[in-house]
Amino acid sequence: MRERSVGKGNPGEPIPAMEGSEPGRGEMRRFTWEEIGQRSGRGPAGQERWLVIDRKVYDISHFCRRHPGGSRVISHYAGQDATDPFIAFHLDKALVRKYMNPLLIGELAPDQPSFEPSKNVSLVEDFRELRATVEKMGLLQPNHAFFILCLCHILVLDVAAWLIIWYFGASLVPFLFSAVLLGTVQAQAGWLQHDFGHLSVFSKSRWNHWVHKFVIGHLKGAPASWWNHLHFQHHAKPNCFRKDPDVNMHPLFFALGKTLSVELGVQKKKFMPYNHQHKYFFIIGPPALVPLYFQWYIFYFAVQRKQWVDLAWMLSFYIRFFLTYFPFLGVKGTLGLHLLVRFIESNWFVWVTQMNHIPMHIDYDKNVDWFSTQLQATCNVHQSWFNDWFSGHLNFQIEHHLFPTMPRHNYWKVAPLVKSLCAKHGIEYQCKPLLTAFADIVHSLKDSGELWLDAYLHK
């Protein structure tokens, strides 16, 4: 669950009081994990949705549709313990708990464990101790100068791209050089909006939301509400099919993960020649995602969901871009520049964001603990000045997923503690060179495609 800020689907500020049992009236009802597990929105309890936070049971059946962070992200934890994601996603937890009271319907029975019996008690407790250590070390506190420098270097590159066209003219070399700079601006602005979207820069959620709209809307031309809708689902249940939107390309375009690929083959389903997906990935993956899909879908999303403020910010980007380059390039040249910039951005974005996830475990949600959920779905890339800058510190994907509100400049500080916890519990902590991470995307697609083909032909 997320805090509410102005605007539908925009987490940050207090959620409104909702229907539910009024706490404090009479004796608190007691529930078992079996009862809670049946309230997942599916199964014998129908559309009932309950979840648990710190042993308290909340009925979100009606509230989920009005949840500021979106109905899906909170519903992904229906029937489960949501304590760790609740802590991970919220800044002012005490305030949010106050507004959750109308949803409170009871608590776990005294003989019930604090989380599902299937989860590793020692690992859950150790991670919560790690979280407390992180807070005491001040690793959730941002260095504002860092983010100011990030923004300044983006603005400098943006201005430099225009100066090149203005001074050298619209011939091929200045045109291409300007496009590379603008592609870099888009990639780096993507990493910066990611920081604000995760509430990592300011102590007040609404401040993060305001600047987030400027960076993603005016500097990139995309709606903040669209990013929130998709990205928090990804963080809540990474690589969980039907819960993480980032793996929705399965099965229409790709067969992902060993388990899902075999399942697809056994079912004799073939939407694409998956045994060749490691080849056509280079055509419909990095080059095409942003210019051929995101470019039009973001407008559909903003209009269909009536996100008029986001749409206004988006239009401010396109108006500025057109007014800036039309006098030098004309209509065709300006459109060509924009398409080339999106092409560069798309390749950059896809390779960086998929290197940490596609090669990892992809399956249905198995409701394992928060730490295991994130570690099995993410891997890291070696630290270096270039890797940090090139990936927006998403080379520390493990630490980012465990502590999504942590400012990225602190990931390297918590990494040794995460490694120690992994070693203690026998969990693999994957970290690899950048080019190896890129290659592993292709290798994993090839492997899952072959598994699909074998199941399709022989099982």
Q: What is the pLDDT of residues 405-445, one digit of tens each?
A: 999 999 999 999 999 999 999 999 999 999 999 999 999 99
Contacts of 426 (CB under 8 A, 6+ apart): none
User: 52 and 81 in contact (C-beta within 8 Å)?
Assistant: yes
Contacts of 50 (CB under 8 A, 6+ apart): 31, 36, 39, 57, 58, 59, 60, 61, 78, 79, 105
pLDDT at position 263: 97
* Side-chain half-sphere exposure of 441, counting CA atoms within 13 A: 20
pLDDT above 90 (res 137):
yes
Q: Which two tokens stand for residue 394?
A: 């998403």
CA angle 94, 100, 103 (to 5 degrees): 155
Separation of alpha carbons 364 and 263, rounded Å:
11
pLDDT above 80 (res 8):
no
Q: Which residue, chain included where needed, has tokens 């710190």? A: 54
- Mean pLDDT across 160-175: 96
pLDDT above 50 (res 68):
yes
Q: Which two tokens stand for residue 321?
A: 């871009």
Q: Which two tokens stand for residue 325?
A: 């380059």
3-state SS assignment for residue 116: coil
Q: Where are the alpha helices (DSSP H) in 69-171?
A: 71-75, 83-89, 93-100, 121-136, 144-168
pLDDT above 90 (res 294):
yes
Separation of alpha carbons 278 and 275, rounded Å:
8
> If we measure between CA atoms, which residue out of 446, 444, 417 comes closest to residue 137?
417
Tell me which amino acid residue 16 is.
P
> If we measure between CA atoms, which residue out of 106, 19, 115, 109 comes closest to residue 66?
19
Query: What are residue 263's phi and psi, to 5 degrees?
Result: -55, -45
Helices (H) and strands (E) in the chain, counts: 18, 6
pLDDT above 90 (res 98):
no
Separation of alpha carbons 20 and 220, rounded Å:
41
How does residue 19 score in pLDDT terms, banded at 50, 70 and 90? very low
pLDDT at position 14: 40
3-state SS assignment for residue 57: strand
Average pLDDT value for the chain = 92
State pLDDT tens for residues 29-41.
999 999 999 999 8
47 Cα distance to chain centroid: 26
Separation of alpha carbons 368 and 236, rounded Å:
12
User: Percentage of the chain surpassing pLDDT 70?
Assistant: 93
**Helical packing angle, 205-213 and 172-197, nearest 10°:** 160
User: 182 and 161 in contact (C-beta within 8 Å)?
Assistant: yes
pLDDT above 60 (res 404):
yes
pLDDT above 70 (res 350):
yes
pLDDT at position 45: 62
User: Percentage of the chain surpassing pLDDT 90?
Assistant: 87
pLDDT at position 21: 42
Tell me which amino acid residue 107 is.
E
3-state SS assignment for residue 59: strand
445 Cα distance to chain centroid: 21
Q: Which residue, chain included where needed, has tokens 């949840």? A: 67
pLDDT above 80 (res 85):
yes
This prediction has a pTM of 0.91
